[in-house]
Structure 1
Amino acid sequence: MQNPKLVTIIGAGAWGSTLATLAAANGCSVRLWSRHYSQSLKAMLEGADIVLSAVSIKGVRAVITEIQSLPVSSETIFVTATKGLDPATTLTPSQIWQKAFPDRSVVVLSGPNLSKEIQQGMPAATVVASTAAVAAKVVQAVFSSSRFRVYTNSDPLGVELGGTLKNVIAIAAGVCDGLQLGANAKAALVTRGLTEIIRIGNCWGAKTETFYGLSGLGDLLATCNSPLSRNYQVGYQLALGKTLPEILAQLEGTAEGVNTTQVLIQRANQQKISMPITVEVYRLLQGEITPRQALEALMLRDIKQESN
């Protein structure tokens, strides 16, 4: 890689650590920071060309507030690799970053990226999206390799929503497999789930075609078909009879789909968006219905045209 960059990654969980390894393999100088580390964030940001946030959605605002109080170069590119929706505002992570730094380039990194597979050297691809094309290309060069293919995209909202909304469908897919409903049922669920994701995305201003790419359909397929997915595991374990608190206590990391479902319901009610799968996942997570009752509610809905 020409002109190796100094990259600071905030969040030393599985995904942040994986991205740090990818950037370092390309010759970049990488600083990995967590609140549990002794180094100050100020020292870690000094001279950084790229600042990438890989914290969970609940930690995004605190990180941004801290960075706003620190000296950061006007040339620094901010990258968000968080998948989720802010409970207080229903904003996406990139919208929160852009609102806090309106004059800076913000790039979204999202795709079908199960960190354990990438750590094992297995091939994968992702998307970096921004309205600032030059910034997206810089980030693309930092993370691209023979085993990690990075594409650019000009629809950051669509890329971000694809990676966020599929977590809700992944919970439903886990339920489907946990109940041993078969390939036909799961194919129908995932396909209708994509339709629901596109409906929401269009309403919020994202482009339809984005959801047929890696960060939409690609991420949906990976997450709905892998036991490595935390959101899939939530649904699967619920189908086996475990309670949500039990499941979350045993998970390594955060299942963002649980929070996303609650935020989606809140916003859908305001905007009157039809989200039948999300509604049943929400009722299931709230303990209002059993996994099988959720399935029956979806199967007994009024019949209609597929395009609706």
Structure 2
Amino acid sequence: MNDVTASGSRGSSRFPKTLAIIGAGVWGTTLGHLASLNGHQVRLWSRSRDRSLKETIHGAQIILSAVSMKGVPAVVSQVQSLELAPEAIVVTATKGLDPQTTCTPSQLWQKGFPQNPVVVLAGPNLSKEIQQGLPAATAVASRDPSAAEQVQEVFASPSFRVYTNSDPLGVELGGTLKNVMAIASGVCDGLNLGTNAKAALLTRGLAEIIRIGTHWGAQTETFYGLSGLGDLLATCNSPLSRNYQVGYQLARGKTLADILPSLEGTAEGVNTTGVLIQRANHHGISMPISYQVHRLLESHITPESAVEALMLRDIKPE
């Protein structure tokens, strides 16, 4: 089946829209189901489906990309070769960084479609909980307030609260960089380091995210919102998080080569960490937790040694 359908609408929109969702993984399918329940027509596309990408996006008012980071440049290029209405809204729900340019997904989409509004969707959104109908909230951010409000209307429901935001870069970086901290958090729990260590890790991890995020051009207050602190708390405390599982299983003695194939989807934090350290080194920004996560993923250090290296850093004011 190429489309998402629902047996009934829980509050159909007065102005139903057609959504083309690129990427039929767990997150793309979940978002499609939310929109379908609100009475919108949803078309799903992936490389394994019969319908062509051209047919999928034809006439769609909203194009939502939920592919993994490594697939974003190719998908942007493919969509560029097709007709996209100038008023069509592009929504990106991918959390990652491009290793070639260190750009975020929304920056790649905006470069490819400078005339179209681009909206970032990110927040503490574990797909399996949303599929179960458990309450959740997210942020939709854009420089175009009208585009953000339209996307808000498409997905908002009694069980899924959607907030608009005017800082798309901050929302996107919050959702992306917390994946690095989720790996560290998994290590913390895998080594049974306790609640004190976990609290310190998340607090200092948020400081790192804010440090590089504001240098990038994002607003500080955004990182205390849903896609920053909210997503950090959800991802760093849930075994449902793929990035958390990477850290946890590394701490339990498994190798990255063993862990990644067993995950349901992509642990974006693995690739994000390398790009983040590349950018941090280029700009001279201190990222001690991220640096140790990077060394761990590169097999240059053990989980225990990574913790020791953080604890033995020079003492200084908070």
1:124 corresponding residue in structure 2 = 136
Match of 1:219 among 231, 236, 240: 231
DSSP-derived class of the 2:164 partner:
strand
2:64 corresponding residue in structure 1 = 52
- The separation in 1 between residues aligned to 2:43 and 2:37, in whole angstroms, is 13
DSSP-derived class of the 1:78 partner:
strand
DSSP-derived class of the 2:203 partner:
helix
- The separation in 1 between residues aligned to 2:66 and 2:288, in whole angstroms, is 30
1:183 corresponding residue in structure 2 = 195
Q: Deviations over 1:252-290 (max 9, x none)?
A: 110000000000111111101100000000000011110
Segments of 5+ residues of structure 2 without an aligned counterpart are 1-12
TM-score, L = length of structure 2: 0.96
Aligned residue identity for 1:59: G
DSSP-derived class of the 1:160 partner:
helix
Of all paired residues, the percent bearing the same amino acid is: 72
Is the aligned partner of 1:287 residue 2:299? yes
Q: Deviations over 1:51-96 (max 9, x none)?
A: 0000000000111111111111111000000000001000000000
Shift of 1:227: 0.1
Shift of 1:191: 0.5
DSSP-derived class of the 2:90 partner:
strand
1:255 corresponding residue in structure 2 = 267
Match of 1:198 among 200, 204, 210: 210
Q: 4+ residue stretches of structure 1 with deviation over 4 A?
A: none
2:152 corresponding residue in structure 1 = 140
What is the number of residues matched between the two proteins? 306
Shift of 1:23: 0.2
- The separation in 2 between residues aligned to 1:205 and 1:23, in whole angstroms, is 31
Is the aligned partner of 1:208 residue 2:220? yes
RMSD of aligned Cα (Å) = 0.5
2:7 corresponding residue in structure 1 = none
- The separation in 1 between residues aligned to 2:317 and 2:241, in whole angstroms, is 32
- The separation in 1 between residues aligned to 2:168 and 2:137, in whole angstroms, is 16
- The separation in 1 between residues aligned to 2:298 and 2:103, in whole angstroms, is 22
Shift of 1:116: 0.4
DSSP-derived class of the 2:137 partner:
strand
DSSP-derived class of the 1:298 partner:
helix
1:300 corresponding residue in structure 2 = 312
Q: Deviations over 1:82-114 (max 9, x none)?
A: 000001000000000001111110000000000
